[in-house]
Amino acid sequence: MNARDLERARFHLERALGLEPEGDHILYTLALCSGLAGDGGGACENLKRAIALEPRNRIMARQDAEFVGLASQFPALRAMLVSDSN
């Protein structure tokens, strides 16, 4: 993902999620990858699941410069970061 090969990153993240379906860290990264690829719906859904599994993920996303940038593009993601509930 750091190389911005988002398609390949998403493939590997989805495989990792298949091995660890409750992996909040995987969901968090998949949310970021989805958003960077322009998939606001996927970003919101994966971040919502990551937050449900580990509420601290909301705080992390609020402080993550890449999520902050995505929040300006996707109003639903912005609302999720501002809200204290799913």
Nearest to 44 by CA among 14, 1, 86, 84: 86
**What does the pLDDT read at residue 85?**
60
pLDDT-derived band at 4 (thresholds 50, 70, 90) equals confident
Q: pLDDT, tens digit, for every residue of 22-70? A: 999 999 999 999 999 999 999 999 999 999 999 999 999 999 999 999 9
The one-character DSSP state at 39 is -
Quote the CA–CA distance of 52 and 80 in Å, as a whole number.
12
Euclidean distance between CA atoms 41 and 50, whole angstroms? 14
The pTM (predicted TM-score) of the whole model is 0.92
Token representation of residue 63:
């402080």
